[in-house]
């Protein structure tokens, strides 16, 4: 579904991403793990069109999208839940969800129902200002907003950030259910332990380069990953 070849991203003279290549097959959960500053968020921003790559290529379902705008990538079936959630705090829950469906031309009523079934708290609070929600509720709203675009590929950036352990487990259970319902997931996550538990495959980023890759369970069992990311 997604193929990234030799992706490089610069911030001025700083080479933040250095010739990164990876792929995501339809139906998978693939995770990118690594320490702060490894380049995980920058990679997702390049994929979704928020940061222009210096070189390399990005293909979605066999079509080159490297130079497409962010909104055209959404039209092609890609949605991005950004780090820090980035909900619109002065708009209601419902208005945030409406913005998720902004580019759609088809009927969306059933999709509101689907989001509310997946995140019942959003149904209860749909008239409430998004900025008054808890951190976990805001994460659910950010995910619900992205799902309103009916993506085939969902990019998730640090969904566990700032959440209590019980909420983290709930969010990751929801991610698994979203995937089982047919949405392919590319997950960036600093909590490597839980990310490797739910992912099919994983890539380890260090200082802007892929240094390890393979089935998630196999990587989780290696001494290198245990020592660096799993506290073992």
The yes-or-no verdict on residue 157 having pLDDT over 90 is yes
The yes-or-no verdict on residue 128 having pLDDT over 80 is yes
* Mean pLDDT calculated for residue range 173-184: 96
Residue 121 lies in a domain: no
Q: What is the CATH number of the domain that holds 175?
A: 3.40.50.300
How far apart CA 196 and CA 218 sit, in angstroms, is 9
Residue 130 lies in a domain: no
Span 207-224, pLDDT tens digits: 999 999 999 999 999 988
The yes-or-no verdict on residue 21 having pLDDT over 60 is yes
CA-wise closest residue to 108 among 153, 148, 151, 146: 148
Q: Looking at the DSSP assignment, which residues form a beta bridge with residue 213? A: 203
Helix (H) / strand (E) containing 201: strand 201-206
Span 49-69, pLDDT tens digits: 999 999 999 999 999 999 999
The yes-or-no verdict on residue 127 having pLDDT over 90 is yes
Residue 221 lies in a domain: yes
pLDDT band at 231 (very low <50, low <70, confident <90, very high): low
Phi-psi region of 208 (alpha: psi -120 to 50; beta: other; left: phi over 0): left
pLDDT score recorded for residue 162: 85
Residue 136 lies in a domain: no
Residue 119 lies in a domain: no
Span 64-119, pLDDT tens digits: 999 999 999 999 999 999 988 899 999 999 999 999 999 888 888 889 999 999 99
Helix (H) / strand (E) containing 204: strand 201-206
User: pTM of the entire structure?
Assistant: 0.94
User: What domain range is 208 assigned to?
Assistant: 2-86+150-229
Distances (CA, A) of 33 to 12, 84, 88, 95, 187: 25, 17, 28, 33, 8
The yes-or-no verdict on residue 185 having pLDDT over 90 is yes
Instruction: Specify whether the CB–CB gap between 21 and 4 falls below 8 A.
Output: yes
Residue 116 lies in a domain: no
Residue 122 lies in a domain: no
Task: Count Cβ atoms within 10 A of the Cβ of residue 3 and give its class: 0-12 exposed, 13-18 middle, 19 or more buried.
Answer: middle
pLDDT score recorded for residue 184: 98
pLDDT score recorded for residue 165: 87
Domain count, the chain: 1
Query: With helix as H, strand as E and coil as C, how does 56-87 read?
Result: EEEEECCEECCCCCHHHHHHCCEEEECCCCCC
Residue 210 lies in a domain: yes
């Amino acid at each position: 579904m997604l193929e990234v070849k030799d992706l490089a991203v610069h911030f001025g003279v700083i080479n933040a991403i250095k010739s990164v290549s990876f792929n995501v097959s339809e139906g998978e959960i693939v995770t990118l793990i690594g320490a702060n500053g490894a380049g995980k968020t920058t990679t997702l921003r390049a994929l979704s069109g928020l940061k222009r790559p210096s070189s390399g290529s990005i293909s979605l379902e066999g079509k080159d999208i490297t130079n497409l705008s962010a909104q055209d990538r959404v039209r092609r079936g890609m949605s991005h839940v950004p780090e820090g959630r980035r909900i619109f705090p002065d708009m209601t829950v419902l208005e945030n969800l409406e913005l998720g469906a902004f580019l759609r031309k088809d009927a969306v009523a059933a999709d509101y129902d689907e989001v509310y079934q997946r995140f019942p708290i959003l149904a209860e609070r749909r008239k409430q200002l998004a900025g008054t929600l808890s951190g976990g509720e805001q994460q659910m709203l950010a995910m619900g907003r992205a799902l309103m675009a009916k993506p085939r590929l969902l990019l998730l950036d640090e969904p566990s950030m700032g959440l209590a352990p019980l909420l983290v487990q709930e969010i990751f259970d929801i991610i698994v259910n979203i995937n089982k319902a047919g949405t392919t997931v590319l997950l960036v996550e600093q909590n490597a332990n839980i990310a490797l538990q739910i992912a099919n495959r994983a890539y380890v980023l260090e200082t802007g380069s892929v240094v390890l890759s393979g089935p998630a369970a196999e990587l989780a069992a290696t001494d290198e990953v245990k020592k660096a990311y799993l506290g073992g």
